[in-house]
Structure 1
């Protein structure tokens, strides 16, 4: 059981990090159309974004089960930032999607590194 848990933990962190990055890329894809933000949200884009954020939230909840509360809080902050980027809750601020997650992403990665013993 302990060996399985040791394998599960890095995989979970990797999955969450990958999903968050995919979310930022998906938001950039929408931003990069050069057109109207609402028009750029095609049915296909919305379906991809909804599926991605659902998987991100599931992964985040599993972090709450497997890791200490501090790492979960940081994962939650990072996931929330990605969610806001996807749905453009930062529309009033002219910065890139990467800039919008600049605070939560390194905080999460630092906490994750601490959990991996590095």
Structure 2
């Protein structure tokens, strides 16, 4: 079929599709008010640790190391639900945050709006 309907994957088997670097994008959303808190990446190990512990773990591309969100700040993300998109190459991690998710101390990493004249602060 030309529209790609022959490739629709509606399997109930979890088969995450990691990129060539072995990573999958993880969007973290608050269960309190649906705010998108942050975006990070998981490798197979951090994904498994997240599933095993119930707390968000990620792979740091810059430091090339595994990290548990909030390990030093105390602002952990307790996972309440994980969803995978239709291609299984992106995760929506619904979390209960124990404080600000952004390293700047803000609730969300998405605190600037892009406009014609640059950036403006939103939500604080």
The answer, yes or no, to whether TM exceeds 0.5 is no
Greater strand proportion: 2
Greater helix proportion: 1
Larger Rg: 2
- The TM-score, its normalising length taken from structure 1, stands at 0.23
Higher relative CO (CA 8 A, sep ≥ 6), structure 1 or 2?
1
